[in-house]
Amino acid sequence: MATLYRAASPDSLIVVPVDLLTAIYHRASGQTHLMASPAPEILEALTEAPLDAAALLVKLRADYDLVDADPAALAARLDELVETGLVERR
Amino acid sequence: MGVAVDGRLLARALADPASVAELNGPGWQALLTMARAELLSATLAHRLDGIAKPAAAQRFLDDAKASCAQGRLVALWEVEMARRALGDLGVPVVLLKGSAFIAAGLAAGRGRFVGDLDILVPRADLDRVEAALLGAGWEWVKPDPYDDAYYRRWMHELPPLIHRERDRMIDVHHTILPLTARPTPDADALIADSIALPNGLRMLNSDDMICHAAAHLFADGDLSGGMRNLWDIHCLVDDFGVAGLAERARRHGLAPAVRRALRLCHALYDTQLPDGWARSGSDDELYLRRLTARDGWGRQTRPVTRLGFYARSHWLRMPPLMLARHLWTKWRKEAG
Amino acid sequence: MRHVFSVAIGPVGFRVGSDWRGPIAALEQLYASYPKPQDGIADFTVRLFADRPWRRLFRPKVMIGGDFVLPEAAPLSLEHGLLAAEMAMNLQMALGQRRYLLLHASAVERDGKALVMTGLSGAGKSTLAALLMTRGWRLMGDEFALLDPATGLIHAFPRLISLKNEAIAVMESAAPGMFGPLLADTPKGAIRHLVPDTRSVAAMLEPARPALILFPTFGHDAATREVAPSEVFVRLTQASTNYVALAERGFTALTQLVVETPARAIDYPDTESAIAQVEALWASL
């Protein structure tokens, strides 16, 4: 079974758009992250329910118009998000 | 300055919060500075909640609580990240000391400043735990082969690991005292009788937590930070009582340490002890002198007493011959 | 401790204990117009001490101690004792301040609005702030601006202004004022302290709404550019020593500040040019 990814719950995050970037405060860790697309969109897409990488790609293309979303790049972003603790592998 | 001030000023305020009504400005200043130096400022803040005090003292204590709250949050996150790395191994992972107190919501965790994450795992599972942590972003602090070999053979823990992104350390223990130290606690029993937490990690049972705190108070270090360690024990005794403690302490070879710890708690913090537990003993005064060696400027005082305890603590950690060999090898490396 | 001094600077109270009379005498003279800590209780304690008893008299070296310390900090000579005291107080703020978000910036106020100037050491924030003080602005501080997370206002921390090297001569000729002793050969060169003027000291508990964030850079032809909020956010978090410690309050305070406050970077060839640029920017807000 493919690895599922789950994002931190919405009430554990304070999200503030700051011009082209998004500032995110993660209450559970006390860490601040400054993110560029598609990282904030990935987080939002994973909030409702955990998804595997393939399903996430589909959702990103559909909901956020990310037409050039590429599986290898997505995998790299997911790894980064897992390392920060904003996303958990299940 | 007037009356000599030492740690008993702080002990009294913690044990009997209403007593601060007698303090004047200089008295408050000494109490607050001393509490900060002993890492008990947030503990004091919680104990003095609702007690009338000067506005400046309230601000100082509010700042201490804010500091502590942020530290607690960061410490709990380390616990969570350790859980993510180790949760699927099928290995019992037992949280120790401050991290356990706050993860379990104990009174001992209230106002507690927590440092690095300490965990206890079975010795047989050390390799798998080490591998999982290295795979999840932790790395070695000191890549020195001699220290490493010494550590792995004789110490009670892996060499220190630090997370490369978060810059926080984790100490992985397989027993609670160095293998070279005199009492040898029953590590298997510590783990077998540990208690599960909601997040899947574990903590020691209450008797073992008291034994652990007492072991470290006397066997590890020169009693600096002792007032805080004893406050931990005071809270644990208050919360859980001491039924079963004497027998458990004997099992770990820690009965003298636990008995002395409880006597010192009683002397400093008025900890209630049931019959059968002595309230005073030989040398206690000397220990109390060392424990309360802090002045109103936050300085450590009583240098001769401190030196005596420092020398003692190294002797306890290693038999003399081993200590000599260890120090000689280190000297050779540094000199050559 | 043999000699003791206490002072309130803005909303923060300090007490300084010293093994030597000299630094205390200097502090007493320069901070003479400042109030004492509220209730006689200081927020932070600083100690200037000799690490060995004989060091008090023989080739004295001033060790810095207190509530918050940096391990292995180098001691200073006794003639730089005043500098040691100032550094020690800064250190308490940097490591221990929890009520206000610390911005490593100078700040001046006019009409209830604050101009916050931030940037690397040597960019001129202290000197610019001192000069603006002589041109009718109220000095709020030269080292730290305090941002209150609850209100979004800037609070003043007007400690002695620390002038270095060439800036000393600039200020000595700019206006009369009470100066501390000239401290030559410090690790950062020559330093001289200037006491904030009477008006700045009297108004030190009055906060101000931040109206402009400035990133000055000295030594280039005059130029101005806008700075995007995300860049301001990154630079301010890097320049704040207690952002992480303030957790959520720090995040909300700082995001609000950068989103609501215009920011500009200015290059300036000399201080007159800088002042002109500042006045022009201020008028255009």
Q: For residue range B140-153, what is the model confidence (pLDDT) as tens digits?
A: 887 665 566 666 66
How far apart CA C196 and CA C202 sit, in angstroms, is 10
Q: Which of C231, C226, C221 is nearest to C274 (CA)?
A: C221
Quick one: pLDDT at residue C176? 83
Q: Residue for token digits 């004047």?
A: B24
Are the beta carbons of B295 and C45 closer than 8 angstroms?
A: no
Rounded mean pLDDT, C237-266: 95
Q: Which domains does chain A have, with CATH numbers?
A: 4-89 (3.90.930.60)
Residue B293 has pLDDT above 50, yes or no: yes
Cα nearest neighbour of B38 on chain C: C67
Query: Which residues of chain A does C226 touch, with a Cβ-Cβ cutoff of 8 Å?
Result: none
8 A C-beta contact, residue C269 and residue C221: yes
**List of chain A residues whose C-beta atoms are within 8 Å of the C-beta of residue B88:** none
- Backbone φ and ψ for B299, nearest 5 degrees, come out as -85, 150
Q: Mean pLDDT across chain B, nearest whole number?
A: 88
pLDDT reported for residue B169: 94
- Evaluate if residue B13 carries a pLDDT over 90: yes
Q: Would you place residue B329 in the very low, low, confident or very high pLDDT band (cuts 50, 70, 90)?
A: low
CA distance B236 to B259: 14
For residue B290, CA distances in Å to B11, B216, B225, B232, B308 come to: 14, 16, 10, 18, 9
Residue among B77, B84, B165 whose CB faces A30 most closely:
B77
CB nearest C230 (choices: A19, A27, A32): A19
Tokens of B39: 């890492």
CB-based contact B81 A28, cutoff 8 Å: no
What pLDDT is recorded for position C135?
Answer: 95
Question: Worst-scoring range by mean pLDDT, A47-61, B117-131, B198-212, B313-327?
Answer: B313-327
Calculate mean pLDDT across residues B18-35: 97
Local confidence band at C18 (pLDDT 50, 70, 90 cut-offs): very high
Question: In chain B, which residues have their Cβ closer than 8 Å to the Cβ of A27?
Answer: 73
> Residue A30 and residue B70: Cβ atoms within 8 Å?
yes
Please tell me if residue A88 touches chain B, with a CB cutoff of 8 Å.
yes
Contacts of C252 in chain A (CB under 8 A): 14, 25
* CA–CA distances in Å: residue C202 to residues A68, B245, C35, C38, C94: 61, 62, 9, 16, 24
Shortest Cα–Cα distance, A19 to chain C (Å) = 6
Q: What is the pLDDT of residue C239?
A: 87
Q: Is the peptide bond before C11 cis (omega within 30 degrees of 0)?
A: no
Lowest mean pLDDT among B84-98, B212-226, B282-296, C159-173: B212-226
Lowest mean pLDDT among B12-16, B202-206, B270-274, C152-156: B270-274
Q: Contacts of residue B70 in chain A, CB cutoff 8 Å?
A: 30
Whether the pLDDT of residue B123 is over 70: the answer is yes
On chain C, the residues whose CB falls within 8 A of the CB of B298 are 45, 47, 66-67
**Closest by Cβ to C41, choosing from B25, B62, B70:** B25
Provide the pairing of β-strand B94-95 with B202-203: parallel
Residue C15 clears pLDDT 70, i.e. is over it: yes
| B285 contact partners, CB below 8 Å, separation of at least 6 | none
pLDDT of B166-195, one tens digit each? Answer: 999 999 999 887 666 667 889 999 999 999
pLDDT at B324 over 70: no
C4 CA to centre of own chain: 22
Inter-chain residue contact C252 with A21, CB threshold 8 Å: no
Task: Please state, as a whole number, how many other Cβ atoms lie within 10 Å of the Cβ of residue C223.
Answer: 12
Range with lowest mean pLDDT among B13-22, B89-98, C186-195: C186-195
Distance CA B52, CA B44 (A): 14
Local confidence band at B1 (pLDDT 50, 70, 90 cut-offs): very low
Residue in chain B closest to A80 (alpha carbons) equals B165
pLDDT confidence tier of residue C234, bands split at 50, 70 and 90: very high
Do C255 and A18 lie within an 8 Å CB cutoff?
A: yes
Least confidently predicted of B68-72, B198-202, B221-225: B221-225
Q: With an 8 Å Cβ cutoff, is B81 touching chain A?
A: yes
Residues of A in contact with B66 (CB under 8 A): none
Length of chain B: 336
Is A83 part of the contact surface with chain B (CB cutoff 8 Å)?
A: yes
Q: What is the pLDDT of residue A21?
A: 93
Token representation of residue C101:
């978000």
Q: Which parts of B166-279 are beta strand (E)?
A: 169-173, 195-196, 202-203
Residue pair C92/C66 in contact by the 8 Å Cβ criterion:
yes
Which of C232, C233, C242 is the mutation pick for testing A, counting most A CBs within 10 A?
C233
Give the pLDDT mean for C237-257.
95
By C-alpha distance, the chain A residue nearest C251 is A25
- Beta strand segments in B45-104, E: 94-95
Is residue B70 less than 8 Å (CB to CB) from chain A? yes
- Among chain C residues, CA nearest to A29: C247
Farthest CA pair distance, chain C: 61
On the question of pLDDT at C56 being above 90, the answer is: no
Residue B203's SS3 state is: strand
Query: What pLDDT score was predicted for residue B111?
Result: 97
Asked if pLDDT for residue C209 goes beyond 90, the answer is: yes
Q: Provide, as residue numbers in chain C, all residues whose Cβ is less than 8 Å from the Cβ of A14.
A: 248, 251-252
Quickly name the fold that domain C101-284 has. Rossmann fold (3.40.50)
At residue B185, the pLDDT reads 87
Which subunits count as partners of chain A given 3+ CB pairs below 8 Å? B, C
Mean pLDDT of chain C: 94
Partner A contacted by B165 (CB < 8 A): yes
Contact B29 C41 (CB under 8 A): yes
Three-state DSSP string of chain C: CCEEEEEEECCEEEEEEECCHHHHHHHHHHCCCCCCCHHHCCCEEEEEECCCHHHHCCCCEEEEEECCCCCCCCCEEHHHHHHHHHHHHHHHHHHHCCCCEEEEEEEEEECCEEEEEECCCCCCHHHHHHHHHHCCCEEEECCEEEECCCCCCEECCCCCEEEECHHHHHHHHHCCCCECCCEEEECCEEEEEECCCHHHHHCCCCCEEEEEEEEEEECCCCEEEECCHHHHHHHHHHHCCCCCCCHHHHHHHHHHHHHHCCEEEEEECCHHHHHHHHHHHHHHC
Residue of A nearest to C259 (CA): A18
Q: Which of A12, A22, A25, A27 to mutate to test the interface with C (most CBs of C within 10 A)?
A: A25
pLDDT of residue C71: 83
Decide: C104 and C122 in contact? Cβ < 8 Å.
no
How many CB atoms are located within 10 Å of the residue C246 CB? 25
Question: Per-residue pLDDT for C181 more than 60?
Answer: yes
| Complex-level ipTM | 0.94
Q: What is the pLDDT of residue C37?
A: 98
Question: C80-93: per-residue pLDDT in tens?
Answer: 999 999 999 999 99
**Span C253-274, average pLDDT:** 95
- Percent of chain A with pLDDT strictly greater than 90: 54
When pLDDT is cut at 50, 70 and 90, the band that residue B280 belongs to is: confident
- CA distance, residue A2 to nearest chain C CA (Å): 35
Looking at residue B121, what is its pLDDT? 96
Best of C1, C2, C98, C244 to substitute, by most chain B Cβ atoms within 10 angstroms, is C98
Residue A17 at interface with chain B, using a CB cutoff of 8 Å: no
- Domains of chain C by residue range: 3-96, 101-284
Query: What number is the average pLDDT over the span A69-85?
Result: 88
The conformation of residue B220, written as its DSSP 8-state character, comes to S
Option in C247, C252, C259 nearest A18 (CB): C259
Residue B126 confidence (pLDDT): 93
